[in-house]
Amino acid sequence: MIHFFPLFDKNAADTAYGEAIRAIGVEHRIFANRVNFGHNSRLELIFVALPRLAVVAMRSAWRSLVQAQPAPDVVVVVSDIEVLIFAFAKFVMRRRTRIVHNTFIYTTRPNRWVEALRRRYYRFVLGHAQMAVVHSRVEIARNRKLFPGLATEFVFVPYGLTVDMRDIYRAEPRRPGQFPDLPLLVAAGRSGRDYATLFAAMQGLDAELLVICDFEGAVPPVPEGAKIRVAHNIYSHEFFRALHDADVVVLPLSNLEISAGQTVLIQAKALGCPLVVTDTPTSRDYVQADVDAVTVPPGDPEALRAAIRALLADPARAKALGDAAAASFDRNHGTQGFLTRLVEAVTK
């Protein structure tokens, strides 16, 4: 018996997520909640978002490890707070349930004292999880090096998701940006992004750029006179429409060691968008260079500019990349495939 705790929708069991788990045929229960992680400051994260998550996790642990019959063999959670709360409930109830920390991403900090405290804290967290799922191969060795001696098993499972109304978006005509005579570039996301390099690449590039990021601190100041818009409140339907409207979706990445940008990358693939992506060890698990995306070296605005300019000048190549990206999504990155691989990993 596996218990799942998705946090994106209270009705997750009635979405493609629930359908995928049922199709696998594994004995399971879904305890779904919707938790808003939106925050514009670290204080808001600490005093609003995390307490909200803790309350949800306590309720879920009670329902799963105390009330549910039979008790689960495995629980799959997605945050450190949930791991600790479930570990406490497991100890109190004397359960033998295995705790799986799905989507474990560890970011280092430049301050050595902060880093030492974080390393100790996450070592404690991982000590209570029997498995940690990562979404790039390079993170397995990295985590083993960062947390030596732990019994926790690190497992690579390629990420996957569902884009609702995908076919409808793809069938709709593209909308122009604020400058209808210019091609539209779209970049999105907050974690591990290198918007400074992208902004530098825009110099001398005859195009408009829309950056979608829900955290102001992740985006540097826009150069004066640049045809760059930054939007902090584009979500759901409008977000997917914005990706679809792009002549090119650009994913500039700064962190070379950990998973970053995979959600936006996969969403863009699902919509058949031509992609330019920073070549990192983690992005290589999700794209084939010059097959379903154009890749560029990290931190190189000239190479990024040249790649974008070449793609804009060759619509046939852009369409071929977009079609290959959509086919790659169908083969590798849908919810069904992701959850099938996840269940295989936690039940082996």
Domain coordinates in residue numbering, the chain: 2-161+334-347, 166-333
Distances (CA, A) of 340 to 32, 56, 333: 19, 26, 11
Selection from 81, 103, 99 nearest residue 35 by Cα: 81
Distances (CA, A) of 100 to 132, 141, 201, 343: 6, 18, 41, 11
SS (H, E, C) 272-317: CCCEEEECCCCHHHCCCECCCEEEECCCCHHHHHHHHHHHHCCHHH
Question: Cα Rg for the chain, rounded, in angstroms?
Answer: 21
Six-digit token string for 121: 């804290």
Six-digit token string for 125: 């967290």
Asked if 190 and 215 count as a contact pair (C-beta separation under 8 A), the reply is yes
Which CATH number is 166-333's, of 3.40.50.2000, 3.40.50.720, 3.40.50.300, 3.90.550.10?
A: 3.40.50.2000
3-state secondary structure of 185: strand
Sheet containing strand 208-212, strands side by side: 228-231, 208-212, 184-188, 248-251, 275-278, 294-296
Per-residue pLDDT tens listing for the chain (348 residues): 999 999 888 888 888 899 999 999 999 999 988 877 666 666 666 766 778 888 889 999 999 999 998 899 999 999 999 999 999 999 999 999 999 999 999 988 889 999 999 999 999 999 999 999 999 999 999 999 999 999 999 999 999 999 888 888 888 888 888 888 999 999 999 888 999 999 999 998 999 999 999 877 788 898 888 899 999 888 888 999 999 999 999 999 987 777 888 999 999 999 999 999 999 998 999 998 888 999 999 999 999 999 999 999 999 999 999 999 999 999 889 999 999 999 999 998
Number of neighbouring beta carbons within 10 Å of residue 253: 23
- 2-161+334-347: CATH topology is Rossmann fold (3.40.50)
3-state secondary structure of 162: coil
Instruction: Report the C-alpha gap between 189 and 187 in whole angstroms.
Output: 7
Residue 53, beta-bridge partner list: none
Residue 231, beta-bridge partner list: 212
Asked if 183 and 207 count as a contact pair (C-beta separation under 8 A), the reply is yes
Omega prior to 301 cis, within 30 of 0: no
Half-sphere exposure of residue 251: CA atoms within 13 angstroms, side-chain side:
32
* Assessment of whether the complete model's pTM goes beyond 0.85: yes
